[in-house]
Amino acid sequence: MARNEFVKSLLLSDFRSYKALDVAFDGRPVVLYGENGAGKTNLLEAVSLLSPGRGLRRAKLSDLARRAGGEPCENWSVAARLGLEDINIGTGGIDGAPNRRKMRMDGKAASGPDMAKYISINWLTPAQDRLFSGPASDRRKFFDRLCLIHVASHGRTFLAYEKSRAERGRLFADGIDDAYWFDALETDMAERGAKIALARHQVLEMLRAEILARPEGSFPKADLAIDGEAEALYAAGAEELEVVDFIKTNLREDRALDARAGRTLRGVHKSDLVVTHIEKAMPAAHCSTGEQKALLIGLVLAHARSQFAKPPILLLDEVAAHLDETRRAALIEELLELDIQVFLTGTDADLFEAFAGRAQVFEVVDGKLVMQSG
Is 156 found in the same domain as 137? yes
Looking at the fold, whether 146 and 192 belong to one and the same domain comes out as yes
224 Rama sector, left if φ>0, alpha if ψ -120 to 50, beta otherwise? beta
Residue 16 CB partners (closer than 8 Å, separation 6+): 39, 42, 45, 46, 64, 66, 76
229 and 276 housed in the same domain = yes
| Domain final residue, candidates 259, 277, 306 | 306
Q: CATH number, domain at 24?
A: 3.40.50.300
Is the pTM higher than 0.75? yes
Rounded distance between C-alpha atoms, residue 141 and residue 352, angstroms: 30
The pLDDT assigned to 3 comes to 54
Q: Which of 289, 306, 323 is the last residue of a domain?
A: 306
Domain of 252, in residue numbers: 131-306
Residue with the bigger pLDDT between 161 and 51: it is 161
Q: Say if 125 falls within a structural domain.
A: no
Same domain, 344 and 238: no
Read out DSSP for 236-292? TT--HHHHHHHHHHHHHHTHHHHHHHTS--SSGGG-EEEEEETTTTEEGGGS-HHHH
pLDDT tier, 1 (very low <50, low <70, confident <90, very high otherwise): very low
Residue 158's closest CA among 207, 114, 205, 195?
A: 195
Do the domain assignments include residue 249? Answer: yes
Are 91 and 222 contained in the same domain? no
Q: Are residues 327 and 282 in the same domain?
A: no
Give me the sign of the Cα torsion angle 113, 114, 120, 125. Answer: negative
Answer with the one of 288, 306, 324 that is the final residue of a domain.
Answer: 306
Is residue 95 domain-resident? yes
Residue 294: which CATH number?
Answer: 1.20.1050.90
Do 158 and 283 have their domain in common?
yes
- What total of structural domains would you count in the chain? 2
Beta carbons of 372 and 37 less than 8 angstroms apart: no
Domain shared by 246 and 272, yes or no: yes
Judge whether 23 lies within some domain: yes
* pLDDT score for 374: 61
State the Rg of the chain over Cα.
22
32-36, 235-239, 318-322: least confidently modelled range: 318-322
